[in-house]
């Protein structure tokens, strides 16, 4: 099952004239957080293949597609 990433981004940050004003800041913050995390914990990895991790796409957890949790090891 492929996700339409453009649609998901539009849902999260709005689109067109309704675009979130905090979108550039949120993206910058995530870029800094992830680059710092990977630099400080270079052995960080998933404990299982991505297709074996449980996603919350059954419709009972709200309208957003995602995960309940993301287990990692290092």
Q: What is the pLDDT of residues 17-30, one digit of tens each?
A: 667 778 888 889 99
Contact 73, 45 (CB under 8 A): yes
pLDDT tens profile 35-57: 999 999 999 999 999 888 888 76
If DSSP codes are grouped into helix, strand and coil, which group holds residue 67? Answer: strand
Kindly list the distances between the CA atom of residue 34 and the CA atoms of 8, 26, 31, 39, in Å, as whole numbers in the listed order: 20, 12, 5, 8
* Domain regions of the chain by residue span: 5-40, 43-74
Lowest mean pLDDT: which of 4-8, 42-46, 64-68? 4-8
Q: What is the pTM of this model?
A: 0.52
């Amino acid at each position: 099952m492929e996700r339409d990433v453009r649609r998901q981004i539009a849902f999260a940050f709005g689109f067109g004239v309704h675009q979130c004003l905090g979108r550039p800041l949120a993206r910058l913050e995530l870029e800094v957080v992830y680059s710092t995390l990977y630099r400080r914990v270079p052995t960080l990895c998933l404990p299982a293949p991505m297709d074996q991790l449980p996603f919350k796409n059954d419709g009972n957890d709200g309208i957003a597609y995602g995960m309940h949790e993301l287990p990692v090891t290092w």
